[in-house]
Every structure is written in C-alpha cells, then in structure tokens.
Amino acid sequence: MKPGRAARLCFLLLCLCCAGCTGWQSAMDPQGPAARRLDQLFWLFTGTAALIWLLVMLVLALALLRRRMPPEAVAEHRSTVAVGGAVAATVLIITGLTFASYLATRQDSAGHADALVIRVRGFQWWWEVTYPDAAPDHSFLTANEIHIPVGRPVRIELAAADVIHSFWVPNLAGKQDMIPGRDNALTFTVQQPGIYRGQCAEFCGLQHAHMALLVVAEPPEAFERWRAAQLAEAQAPRTPEAAEGQRLLEIKACGACHTVRGTAAAGTLGPDLTHLASRQYLAAGMLPVTRGALAAWIADPQTIKPGNNMPMVSLSADELQALSAYLVDLK
Amino acid sequence: MTRGRPAEDLRDTALAEVELTHGLARTWQTPSGFWGALATVDHKIIGRRYIATAFVFLALGGVLALLMRWQLARPESRILSPDLYNQVFTIHGTNMMFLFAVPVMEAMAVYLVPLMVGTRNIAVPRLNAFSYWMYLVGGVLLWVAFVLDMGPDVGWFAYVPLAGPQYGAGKRADIWAQMITFTEISALAVAVEIVVTVLKQRAPGMSLDRIPLFVWSMLVTSFIIILAMPAVMVASTSLILDRLVGTHFFNPAEGGDVLLWQHLFWFFGHPEVYIIFLPAVGMISSILPTFTRRPIFGYLPLVLALVGTGILAFGLWVHHMFTTGLPRVGESFFTASSMAIAVPSGIQIFCWLATIWYGRPVLKTPMLFILAFLFTFVIGGLTGVMVASVPLDTQVHDTYFVVAHFHYVLVGGAVFPLLGGVYYWFPKITGRMMSERIGRWVVGLLLAGFNLTFFPMHILGLQGMTRRIYTYQADMGWGGMNLFVSLSSLVLATGFLLFFIDAFRSARHGAPAGDNPWGAATLEWATSSPPPPYNFVRIPVVESASPLWDSPDALPVATGLRMDRRELLVSTVADAVPEARESSPGNSIWPLWAAAATTILLIASIFTPWAVVWGAIPVTIALIGWFWPKGTPEDES
C-alpha cells in the first residue's frame, strides 16, 4: 500500500467528481445564500479533513518505513510530546470547526419580515402546497410544484398529514423534517430563475423513492401571473370529448379524493387537480404531464407507482380518452 | 489459604501434575453428546457458538446488501418490489446492528475475557448459556419472519407513526420490536457477566493498570450497554403497547409525541455505535503490541479515552435529530459534544501511531487489518466531524453521504479490527493458524472493495441521492456511479467469501499453532490452544501489564483452589488481591428451558397481551427449576 499516492488519487477523484456535481438536485450547486453558506462550510470541513487524513497517513507510512530505534526513555519522552501536541492540535481544530458551524447556523436563523409564506404538507407520497392569503378568496391550493419569485425570501411552513416526511431542495437550502403534531419552517431566498428538484428525505413507506417536488423560481412578474392563473377556477371543457371527461370526473370515483375547482369534484385526500396541466410532472415527479402519460397513470396507477393510494378505477377505453382529454386541458 | 486440609479437600497444592489436570478436566468438562452440549456453561463453548452464529448473520446480512446493490445498479430497476426492498434494507440494518455487530463483540469477550484475566469461567455462567439461547431465538425470529414475507419494513430505527398502529399494518413492526427484546435480554446478560468477571475474577496481581486494553474496552462497553439498552427497551415496549393494547405514547392526536420515540431510540442508538466501536479499538490496543514488539504507548491515556468516549457517548444522541426542528441552543450544544468525541478518538490514533513509530512492525495479517483500519476509519471519523455540524448535517442527513460515513465507521472502524482479531485469536480458539497467504488477499480485497464501494456514496449523497429509496429515475444522473458502486461491492463480497473459506479450511487443516504462536504478552496465551475446560492448571499471578514478556520462562502461579469441584478465585476490584474461593455453577439444562419458556411468552405476546399473563407461568417454573438446589458440591459451599 502506498498511502501517499492513494490519497492524492482519491483527492483528485473527489475534485473531478465534484466538478461534475452540478445538477437540479445537488448540494454542490448552490443557488441561494443559504445553500451557498453550507457549500462553503462543506469545503472548509472537507479541506481540513483531507489535510488531517493525509498527515495521519504520512506519519503512518514513515512509522512503518523507519528503522532507527532510540533508547526506550527517549522514545517515551518524544512520544509523549508528539501525542500531546497532536491532541492539542485536535482540540484547536475541533473548536475552530464548531465555531465556524455555529456562525453559519446563526446567519440562517435571521428573521425575514417580508417573506412570502407557503404551507407545504407531506402526504404518502406527494406534497400539498398552500399559498395562504389574508383574503380567503386569494388563497389557493396546488400540489408537488412550488412557484416562488426570485430575490424575495420564502418561508416554507412544514407539516405532515400522515407519517414523517422531510422537505429537501438541496440547491436552495438544507432539509427540514415534517412531523405530525409539530410545526417546522424553512426560510430561503433564490437569486437565479430556474427549476430545482427536491425529494422527501425521511423514509415514509412504500413510495418514499417517488416523492419529488419542483421549485420553480421565476421573476416577480411571472410569479404574479402564475399566481393569478392559479386563483382562477378550472378551465371549462372546450370540446365535447373534454366535457364528457369532466362528467366522468364528477360521477366516477375521482371526485372522492380530488378537487377541481368549478366542478362537483371536491375531494381532499389527493392532490388538487384544478390546474394540473400547468404543472410539469404527474404523481410527484413520476411522469411528465402529457395526455398519454395521464391515460397510462389513470389506467394503472399501481404498476407505475406500486403501493400508492390511488386505486385503479375501471374505465372503458373511450372513457379513458375523454378523461385524459379533459385533464390535459386543465392549464 | 493455608488452613489444614481434610483428606477429601482436594486442592491443587496437594496433587501431582497429572493427577491435577485429570481431576480438573473431570470437574470442568462438558459431557459429550447432545444433552451435554445443550447444558454446557463453559464460556469457551458458548463463546464459540456466539461467534459462529454472529458470523452466519454477517453472511446473511451481506447477501441482503448485495440484493440492494443489484436493485440500485440501474435506474428504475424492478428486481425487488418496493415492499421487498423495504424489508431487505430494514433487515439488513437490524441484522447487522442487533444480530451481528453487538453480539459478535460480546461473543469475543465471552470467549476471551475470562482467559485474559486468568480465571476458570465467566461469572454467572448459566445466565451466559441463557443469553445465547435468547440471542439465537431473536435472530431466528427475524429471519423466519422475512422468509414468510412478514419481515419488518419500517427501517432499523422504526420511526413512528410509520411503525405505529395506524400506518404499520400487520405484525411486521411487532416482530421487529420483539426481536429487540430478545437481543436486549441477551446483551444485558452478557454485559453484567463481563462487568463481574472483570471486576472480581482477575488473577492475583492484575491491578487496574495491568488489565489488558481489550478487557478495559469491554468493561466500558458493558457499562454503556447496561445504561443505554433500557432506553430502547422502554421505547420498543411502548411501541408494542401502542400497537397491541392501544396506548398512545407516540400518537400526537391523543397527547402522545412522535419525537419521544426518536429521543428514546437514539439515546440508545448512538451509544450503540460505541458499543460496537470500543471493543474494536480494544482489540487493536491488545493486538498492536504483539506486532510492534513493544508495550503499547500511552496505556493510561488509552484507558481514559475509552472511559471518556463511554461518557460522551450519552451526550450525542440529538445529532441524529438535527433536522427535526429542535431549538438552536440545544443543537449547538450537541454539535460541540459530537465534535468533542474526536478528541478521545484522536488520542487513541496518536498513541497507536507512536507505538508503531517506536516499535518494530511485523506485517502479519492481524497487523495488516490494523493498517486497513487506520486508512479507512480516519476517513469515517472525519466525515463524522462533518455530520456533527448542524448546518452541514441539514444537507447530508438521510442521504448516501451518511450511508458512506457510518459504513466507514462501522466496517472500517469495527469490522476490520474484528477480522484482525479473528486472525489473531483463531489459533487460540481452534489450535490452528489461519493462512497468512490468503489473509493478505482478504485484507487487500476488503480494503479495495470497501473503499471503491463506499467512497463514491459520499458524492452520490451530495448529488442529492437520499437513503432508503428502492429506485431512482434515470434523469437524476446517479446511474453511472451506482453501477460502479454495485460492481465494487462484488470485490468486497469476494473478500468476505475468501475470509469464510480460509476460516473453514484452517479450522480443519491449518498449521498447528502451539500455545503462543505470535509471541504475545497477555494471559490468554499462557495456556494451551485451544485451552482446557478449566482454562489454567494453576491460576497465574500477574506482575506487570505484559506478563508473558516480563516472565518469559514461567509465570508465577497462585495455588489453593480445589479440583474436585468448580472453584474460582475472587479478588479485590482495584488491586486484584485474592479475597476468597468462590464456587462456580456447573452445567445445567435449565437455562435452555428458561429460554424456551421466555420465547413462548415473548412470541405469543406479539399476538395477544394475555400471553404475558399465561406465559409467566412456564417462565416461573423454569426459574424455580434453575435455582432449585440439586445437591452438587457447588450448591453445598
């Protein structure tokens, strides 16, 4: 074993890999001050750790290679000094890192009076998103996709409807758990428009793997346009086929769990579908919102996402066509 | 001990060597045959069983790990269903923690501690037999449940409400909780035995500053077990009550608290890490002098580091809960205490480096495992400092970064020293050497395979890959590295396979070892390999911390113990001055019956609370039978 060379290789490998670590769900590609502070702290810790590891390996290599033996008393004395020094250095480094970590936390806990408040509730296995407003008719519900204006602090208030979930969008901030019976919150600001992915980080059952959400950061004007569109009731059907789709939604099982504002469907167990087609993904990140994907999902949700709470509703081929035609128009 | 000897009082002083060894063998032997094997209380036989069983569970848990890597090698793979995957990762974790790591360390101690302190048997030996049966049943319960598709699927941490009555359907979480009860009982029993053995049965002259460091580490570990395990017993019992009789300990709708579970679980769960890690560092401190040909440097700081780690272990549990939204002040305190654990760990590493620096390293397989440990564990320790920081932890918590971190600590920090310990003590246990040539291959394959498997997981975690997911989508970009990890895990598996092959082969065909093949300094090497049922013909007297090096020709011995009945020497706690001769219980089948009765009670109580009432009757009968005087010489004294 050649620890020195191995160490250099590992470090190079790490650097190479991290250079390629940009992604839409990556802690290595921070897009806001909160995530950036965490990234800087990460590199401070990693650099220190790499140096310490190299040093220990170097001493170990020398210890294995050296041949000269001083008398026992001298060896004992020198060991005491060396070990004592190393322990003192450890204490200093640990203290420094603790302090650095404390400073980063303190900056994060600063309050934001003008923050945009969004409530997110975790369900098995999707996210309910509420934009509350003092005027009740200006507050609305959506799911799995959060739109935020860039440059303005956002306060996400977190709750859980069933089991523990955890809200994590690594490009924007660290994670925070959603715990039944407790209220948590997370505040961050995004500076660049973009689409960032997050996913549930606390094991929550069968479909923990498929519980993703998107954060869409857009300029304030675009955000306000989106908000106004979300406040409106659902798009009325424009074709006879879509009208049949709406009728099916209301008379079949769909309305028992889902709401489409402006129709008789007013269930609250599943995601709100009023503006389903304005969202990019279906079933918490499983499928893109296209007519084909909608039909596939409704036809057999248990094969696509085994164990999820949406039952298979028996529909004829024509009914499936009509329903998907209606849903894909819910912009 | 010099009072007059009646004719029937057969002491070792009065007898010739041959007569003495025959007499001792007759008194301490385990009768041959099936019932003899079931009734034995010999710590060496029970220890061997414990070790072998734990390694069987290691192999089974390893197979589960390979299944998970097979599933994760490609995105959206459908080799395991989500339900099966959840069972597999739950049982992998539960199995490795409760059925392998903790028991194997205690198993090594059950075998080695009585030999290392120079006594004839472990204290409370029938409890020791009982503890093995309980452990075996707990393990079988978990695996039979898995085979019947009733395996726990709630994670080894079983967070409520997912594991609670509302969301944890069927009996899966109950099986998990009851498996905990079985392994708890056995772990607590062994911990008590070891504390008593170390404190009261040491050979004359083995004062506190001459105790071998592995024994010290097991003493500290046993105290941690005694203090930490009750927390998880309370937790798992409350969970069973919530599920079975509708109490609401963890139900927020009825005034219960979800976080209470996490506090109780991690108040045990974090010390658990040190329950696994401290015996491993104890093994290093005991093996290292042999292969550097000098006494360990810094005996006192090493002991203080063990004790310090044991105390700090109880101040860290909240760092598993940094993302639950606890008050900032509390979090800062737990950051500081979590980082402080680096100091005792650092002390140990620096003392070992100093020992190697001023020693003459002999690169045999056990020593190579220590080098592999240093290479790997230091990385795990340093990433441990990273996850101890609250802000960093909010990014890496519950991601593959943490998976990488704790495997570096548990495999690098505990399994490598353990395997080094197996290569080191195998000749003592079996009388035969393991292969040096294969041993080098094992170390190489494990070191390379381990690092290639687990190092990339750090990066996967930072790239956003969360834990406990049965699959991931192709557009996440994790596919390449996951495939690499899965292929590397085959290298790691090959290393373990080779280790098992070597152990099996060497047990039958290895070169005969002799009493002290490595030229080691501690007492277990002062008797034959494998040791006779009575361990030592005469109890050795210890005059230094390296008795076999400082008295190379023959150890002084203490005499005066009887040979016609099982007798031990009891000594004082601090200076190990002989105090009394004490009877040691003989073989008995009753621990087995007691274990069978307890098993019926515990397993039936998964299904009905009345099992606790009716099941108590056979347990009581078994205990009465266990303690009923049977007129043996030991009973009379």
Is the predicted pLDDT of residue A19 greater than 80, yes or no? Answer: no
Give the pLDDT band of residue B622 (cuts 50, 70, 90). very high
Is the predicted pLDDT of residue A108 greater than 80, yes or no? Answer: no
Domain region containing A71: 33-105
Cα→Cα distances B355→B350, B362, B504, B555, Å: 9, 12, 33, 26
The answer as to whether A21 is a domain residue is no
Q: What is the pLDDT of residue B24?
A: 92
DSSP of B140-159: HHHHHHHHTT----STTTT-
Cβ–Cβ of A83/B390 closer than 8 Å? no
Domain count, chain A: 3
**DSSP secondary structure code for residue B118 in this structure:** T
The answer as to whether B437 is a domain residue is yes
* Residue B387, min C-alpha distance to chain A (Å): 10
* Residue B185, min C-alpha distance to chain A (Å): 29
What is the end-to-end Cα distance of chain B in Å, rounded?
16
Closest CA to B121 of B130, B132, B110: B110
Pick from B324, B335, B478 the residue to mutate for testing the A interface (most A CBs within 10 Å).
B324
Closest CA to B98 of B147, B43, B44, B61: B61
* Residue B517, min C-alpha distance to chain A (Å): 23
Give the pLDDT band of residue A13 (cuts 50, 70, 90). low
Is the predicted pLDDT of residue B296 greater than 90, yes or no? Answer: yes
3-class secondary-structure state, position B320:
helix
Cβ–Cβ of A201/B466 closer than 8 Å? yes
Cα→Cα distances B549→A32, B74, B431, B485, Å: 63, 56, 21, 46
Give the residue on A whose Cα is nearest the Cα of B86.
A206
- Whole-angstrom distance, CA of residue B244 vs CA of residue B264: 20
Domain count, chain B: 2
The answer as to whether A200 is a domain residue is yes
Whether residues B450 and B593 share a domain: the answer is: no
The answer as to whether B499 is a domain residue is yes
The answer as to whether A230 is a domain residue is no
* Residue A235, min C-alpha distance to chain B (Å): 31
A195 touching B, CB under 8 A?
no
Predicted confidence (pLDDT) per residue in B255-268, tens digit: 999 999 999 999 99
Whether residues B560 and B592 share a domain: the answer is: no
The mean per-residue pLDDT over the stretch B483-503 comes to: 97
| Residue entry with tokens 């277990």 | B524
The answer as to whether A11 is a domain residue is no
**pLDDT > 90: percent of chain B:** 89
The answer as to whether B509 is a domain residue is yes
- ipTM field: 0.92
Whether residues B338 and B431 share a domain: the answer is: yes
Count of CB contacts below 8 A, A vs B? 238
Predicted confidence (pLDDT) per residue in A224-266, tens digit: 999 999 999 999 999 999 999 999 999 999 999 999 999 999 9
Give the residue on A whose Cα is nearest the Cα of B374.
A57
Give the residue on A whose Cα is nearest the Cα of B399.
A201
CATH code, domain carrying A303? 2.60.40.420
Whether residues A162 and A202 share a domain: the answer is: yes
Whether residues B575 and B595 share a domain: the answer is: no
Is the predicted pLDDT of residue A1 greater than 50, yes or no? Answer: no
Q: Which amino acid is at A172?
A: L
The answer as to whether A10 is a domain residue is no
Is the predicted pLDDT of residue B634 greater than 80, yes or no? Answer: no
Cβ–Cβ of A98/B336 closer than 8 Å? yes
Give the pLDDT band of residue A67 (cuts 50, 70, 90). confident
Whether residues B608 and B461 share a domain: the answer is: no
Cβ–Cβ of A1/B332 closer than 8 Å? no
Q: What is the pLDDT of residue B362?
A: 94
Pick from B335, B339, B459 the residue to mutate for testing the A interface (most A CBs within 10 Å).
B459
For chain B, the C-alpha Rg in angstroms (whole number) is 25
Count other C-beta atoms under 10 Å from residue B198's C-beta: 26
Pick from B378, B394, B460 the residue to mutate for testing the A interface (most A CBs within 10 Å).
B394
Q: What is the pLDDT of residue A144?
A: 96
The mean per-residue pLDDT over the stretch B79-99 comes to: 97
CB contact at 8 A, A306 and B81: yes
The mean per-residue pLDDT over the stretch A182-205 comes to: 94
Is the predicted pLDDT of residue B407 greater than 90, yes or no? Answer: yes
Strand partners, A194: A217
Residue in B86, B257, B463 closest to A21 by CB: B463
Torsion angle, CA of A270/A273/A274/A280, rounded to 10 degrees?
Answer: 130
Find chain B residues with C-beta within 8 A of A185's C-beta: 325
| Joined tokens for residue B334 | 């737990």
Whether residues A155 and A67 share a domain: the answer is: no
Whether residues B290 and B395 share a domain: the answer is: yes
Q: What is the pLDDT of residue B4?
A: 39
Closest CA to B360 of B295, B311, B294: B294
Is the predicted pLDDT of residue A70 greater than 70, yes or no? Answer: yes
Q: What is the pLDDT of residue B19?
A: 87
Last residue of a domain, one of B587, B607, B627: B587
Whether residues B575 and B598 share a domain: the answer is: no
Give the residue on B whose Cα is nearest the Cα of A202.
B398
Domain region containing B599: 588-637
Whether residues B449 and B491 share a domain: the answer is: yes
Whether residues A70 and A127 share a domain: the answer is: no
Cβ–Cβ of B462/A175 closer than 8 Å? no
| Joined tokens for residue B101 | 């790591």
**DSSP secondary structure code for residue B411 in this structure:** I
Among left, alpha and beta (phi > 0; psi -120 to 50; other), residue B464 is left
Whether residues A123 and A212 share a domain: the answer is: yes
Whether residues A208 and A246 share a domain: the answer is: no
* Residue A46, min C-alpha distance to chain B (Å): 8
Cβ–Cβ of A41/B347 closer than 8 Å? no
A307 touching B, CB under 8 A?
yes
Last residue of a domain, one of B587, B603, B629: B587
Is the predicted pLDDT of residue A107 greater than 80, yes or no? Answer: no
Predicted confidence (pLDDT) per residue in B514-535, tens digit: 999 999 999 999 999 999 999 9
Q: What is the pLDDT of residue B18?
A: 86
Q: What is the pLDDT of residue A288?
A: 94
Whether residues A73 and A144 share a domain: the answer is: no
Whether residues B561 and B611 share a domain: the answer is: no
What number of CA atoms fall less than 13 Å from residue A144's CA on the CB side?
26
Give the pLDDT band of residue A7 (cuts 50, 70, 90). low
Q: What is the pLDDT of residue A111?
A: 63
How wide is the angle at C-alpha A55 spanned by C-alphas A54 and A56, nearest 5°?
95
Segment holding A26, helix H or strand E: none
CB contact at 8 A, A26 and B467: no
Omega within 30 of 0 (cis) for the link into A125: yes
